[in-house]
Amino acid sequence: MTRRRRILLVVVVLLLLGSGLLLRWVARATPSIRDSVVTALNARFDSKVDLAELQADFFPQPGIDGRGLVLRHNGRTDVPPLITVERFTANAGIRGLFGRPVRLRDVTVEGLNVHIPPGGLAGSPGGLAGPESGDEPRRPADLPPPVPTAAVPAALPLVIDTIHAPHARLEIASRRAGRLPRTFDIENLLMRRFGTSAGATFSAGVINPIPRGRIETSGTFGPWNGADPDLTPIQGEYAFKHANLNDIKGINGTLASVGTYGGVLRRIDVVGQTETPDFSIDLAGNAVPLTTRFKAIVDGTNGDTWLDRVEATLAATTIVASGAVVRTQNIKGRRVSLDLQIENGHIEDLMRLAVKSGNPLVGRLNLHTKFLLPAGPASVVERLQLTGQFNLTQAKFTSIDVQRKINLLSSRGKGDQDADGTGQTVVSHLQGRFALRDARITFSELQFAVPGAVIQLSGTYGLRDELMNFTGFFLADATLADMTSGVKSLLARIAQPFFRRPGGGTRIPIRISGPRSNPAFGLDSRRVFNRG
């Protein structure tokens, strides 16, 4: 055997021995790496971690491949795990795998599911929740201020340079028994510097279920608060574009929203704005531009939202609102409770939403109402409930025939017998109280006034069938004799005692009924002799 062959043989033997020793070391190292990763996860999240399988690879570069990761916060088994992962792969240096802290470079996660249990991650009843019945959520001014996070230890057990999850799912269970969880699909989640004391930066696309659309968001998350995860800091910005409002039964339009947020998971302050250039409700189907600016408080552990102030502009009318949007027990969807106020608005802007064809009325509107939209499968119009009062000034009817009748009404009320309603247009004043329920408005203390006459009414109007049914009184400054001539004037003087108005003038019981397009207006003879 030549010298060259002997050297080659020695090299082969050494390689075989080295490979055997390396394989033996890898076999011994893999459990150690598994223990290091599990221990680091346990310490980082104050949790009990189960890992079904983990394989360490050292060629061509060090890394790990794991399956069946289950993380139970505080070891709780009464709720689903906080985090489950079907599979993850990561690369790292030798020092990263065996060092303290464990440091991984690039981690790719498949089948990531995050479940926030009832009562939040800390399992406590704290946070922003209102009464357990959910009937009257607390106002933002009554809510507790954000609580500072606990100090984060300097030596963190696990640091990950980059985490990438192509697809993930977040499920938030409600604190209140019987409420359905909220579920969000997350796409292309990317986190950097996870586990550092400064928190991790992130970007992701969140699929909002209703109205369905993709929310692009980025910001910082953490550091993770192991003592009370609900107090983990979060801040960032978002953009929600092309959201289809048709997903909400009864309304239509395409919404876009941008804004910023910050705080802790239990209390996130949000400032933003929305634009819906084609907002409409199916009652009329007329598109009206709608923009809003808002400040809100969001409980990130269940999604309940308190609206500190919303300033909405519907066409040229400004609507100021405050209230809450919360989950409802055993019913899919959210309950919206608001205080709404309009000052010096335009009645025609609201009419465009509610009236199918044409705009019957213009004028200046002042309105205050309680707005309640219970959760449920019915359309918005069927669920909507309103109670409030309004005052409409400088009102004019757009229909020439209707306005002529109003002009004639004013002339007759002043005793002008020769007027035909074609003279100077008079403006009307309308005020009253109202209640909307089951798509039907009930009016009380409704008063319609023009120079020389006042009409006082109470009754109902159907938003669906557009049928009205009102009874009330026509109050005129003039007497019956002043409003008639000839033989009719003589008969009017005889009948005047039955229609005398306290303080002078005439009081005539009337009824208005029929469709909005052609209502019947006349004397309510059954109440002529009833002076009550």
The span from the CA of 63 to the CA of 26, in Å, is 12
Q: Quick one: pLDDT at residue 390?
A: 92
From 390, 280, 402, select the one nearest 342 (Cα to Cα).
390
Spatial CB neighbours of 531, under 8 Å, sequence gap ≥ 6? none
Q: Is residue 243 part of a domain?
A: no
Phi, psi values for residue 409, rounded to 5°:
-60, -45
Burial (0-12, 13-18, 19+ Cβ within 10 Å), 524: middle
Residue 532 forms part of a structural domain: yes
pLDDT tens, N- to C-terminus, the chain (532 residues): 565 555 444 444 444 444 433 334 344 445 555 566 666 666 666 677 788 887 776 666 677 788 998 888 777 777 788 889 999 888 876 555 555 666 778 889 999 998 877 655 554 444 444 333 344 444 444 445 554 444 445 455 677 889 999 999 888 776 556 556 677 899 999 999 887 778 889 999 988 877 888 899 999 988 877 677 778 888 999 999 888 888 777 788 899 999 999 988 778 899 999 999 999 887 777 889 999 999 988 877 667 788 888 999 999 999 999 888 877 666 666 788 889 999 999 988 888 887 777 677 889 999 999 988 888 878 887 888 989 999 999 888 777 777 777 777 777 777 776 666 566 667 788 899 999 998 889 999 889 888 888 888 899 988 888 888 998 888 888 887 777 777 767 777 777 777 788 878 888 888 888 887 788 878 777 777 665 5
- Say if 424 falls within a structural domain: yes
Residue 450's SS3 state is: strand
Q: What does the CA dihedral 482, 485, 487, 491 come to, rounded to 10 degrees? A: -20
Q: What is the pLDDT of residue 139?
A: 43
Residue 155 lies in a domain: no
The CA-atom distances, in angstroms, between 230 and each of 79, 159, 186 are: 16, 21, 20
Continuous segment of H or E residues that includes residue 361:
strand 361-373
- Residue 419 in any domain: the answer is yes
User: Distance (Å, rounded) from C-alpha 61 to C-alpha 89?
Assistant: 13
pLDDT in the model for residue 364: 93
The domain of 427 spans 399-532
What's the sign of the alpha-carbon dihedral 121, 126, 130, 132? positive
> Are 346 and 378 contacting, i.e. CB atoms less than 8 angstroms apart?
no
Q: Which of 398, 312, 385 is nearest to 351 (CA)?
A: 398
Bridge partners of 383, per DSSP, are none
In the chain, the number of structural domains is 1
- pLDDT at 187 (0 to 100): 93
Closest CA to 94 of 70, 61, 68: 61
Label residue 401 exposed, middle or buried (CB < 10 Å: 0-12, 13-18, 19+): exposed
Written as one letter, the residue type at 65 is D
Please check whether residue 432 lies inside any domain of the structure: yes
Q: Does residue 98 form part of some domain?
A: no
Segment 402-453, tens digit of pLDDT? 777 777 777 777 777 666 656 666 778 889 999 999 888 999 988 988 888 8
Q: Where are the beta strands (DSSP E) in 58-157?
A: 63-73, 83-91, 102-116
Is there a domain that residue 8 lies in? no
| Two structure tokens written together for 72 | 């139970």
pLDDT for 43: 64
Kindly state the DSSP code that residue 375 receives in the 8-state scheme.
-
Q: Is the sign of the CA dihedral 454, 437, 467, 251 positive or negative?
A: positive
> Would the CA dihedral through 82, 87, 92, 96 be positive or negative?
positive
pLDDT of the residue at 328: 66
Query: Which pLDDT score is estimated for 19?
Result: 41
